[in-house]
Amino acid sequence: MPELPEVETIRRGLAGVLVGQKLLTCKGFTGSVRSGKMGGRVVGLRRFGKLLVIDFDNGESLAFHLRMTGQLIYRALTPSVSSSGPALIGSVAGGHPNKSFVGELPDKTTRAVFEFEKGVLFFNDQRKFGLFEFLPSLEVEKMPFVAKLGPEPWKMTVLELKKRLLRHKKSKIKAVLLDQTVMAGLGNIYADETLFLAGVHPERLAGDLNDDEIAKIIEGAKKSMEASLKSGGSSLRNYLRVDGSYGDYLTLFANVYGRAGERCKVCGEKIAKIKVAVRGTHFCPRCQRASKTVGGVAEVANKRRRK
């Protein structure tokens, strides 16, 4: 599922090719598209959590939410010949990584096609949970989804997160971190990576965390998403290797996600996988103790075992 770093990667990629271009036509393959919105030139791209917004100079915006399997793929009409590398020079692709990144388009997952002066933007979505809509630029921040978003980790303070965690004090921290109204940005992958970097067990209760742990969670969230951004997220660059094979971008930064049964990179313990709030959850049983306090459940159990 595309998460914040993936959406930010697409935002940067599309900004590089779309700004200055005029939108000529828009064809929705599922449902109709409001007409009369064409002709605006792209002035910039914004991101609100995982919502991606293209802004035009006529006061209109085009918002995308990729949800589970959404992708945005831009193909230049005249590929530039300056760069070396495999096929698809002049392309930008991001979101749910699969063969549509490199295949012929439109394909059976294509939901809408946006024609610009120098290229075509395809919105693909296999499972159809994603959405796009045209709306006045001034109304983007009033969309219910946007208005309810919590601050992103880069704007979060320990005090603010503590206050927000206490509203869910009996819930497991992993579940609370997935709640975008508490803190925006973390999906399943980065919630697991964040808790690993913070050394916090995913089943700890949100109300039991101390200030030091809350600070480490904010740092962990920033660090894990920045590592992904640096590696390019699930973009065409990481999907299609130079030799033409397909890559898994997670291997570039993941410490625990998708590594059940493999050795922890820090302590060598086997990474465990459990279910928390019906989501597959990966963690290191040694680096992320269930209870931090001496005399807690884990410590007592360990003492008994030693006797």
Q: Which residues bind Zn ion (CB under 5 A)?
A: 264, 266-267, 269, 284, 286-287
Cβ atoms of 163 and 144 within 8 Å: the answer is: no
Three-class secondary structure of residue 137 per DSSP:
helix
Among candidate residues 75, 279, 285, 299, the one labeled active-site is: 279
To Zn ion, the closest distance from the beta carbon of 191 in angstroms equals 17
Say whether 299 is catalytic: no
Catalytic entry in 50, 111, 259, 292: 50
Task: Say which of 2, 5, 97, 153 is annotated catalytic.
Answer: 2
For residue 50, indicate whether it is catalytic: yes
Residue 259 CB, shortest distance to Zn ion, in Å, is 11
Cβ-based nearer residue to Zn ion, 33 or 264: 264
Identify the burial level of 251 via C-beta atoms within 10 angstroms of its C-beta, where 0-12 means exposed, 13-18 middle and 19 or more buried: exposed
- Check if 86 is active-site: no
What is the distance between the alpha carbons of residues 88 and 234, in angstroms, rounded to a whole number? 16
Least gap, CB of 257 to Zn ion (angstroms): 14
Compare residues 177 and 284 and give the one whose CB is closer to Zn ion: 284
* Nearer residue to Zn ion within complex by CB, 107 or 262: 262
C-beta separation of 125 from 70 below 8 A: yes
Q: Shortest approach of Zn ion to residue 226 CB, angstroms?
A: 21
The reply to whether 2 belongs to the active site is yes
Peptide bond into 106 cis (omega under 30): yes
Residues 6+ apart with CB under 8 A from 191: 174, 177, 178, 202
Cβ burial, residue 297 (10 Å; 0-12/13-18/19+): exposed
Residue nearest to Zn ion (CB): 264
The residues that are catalytic are: 2-3, 50, 279
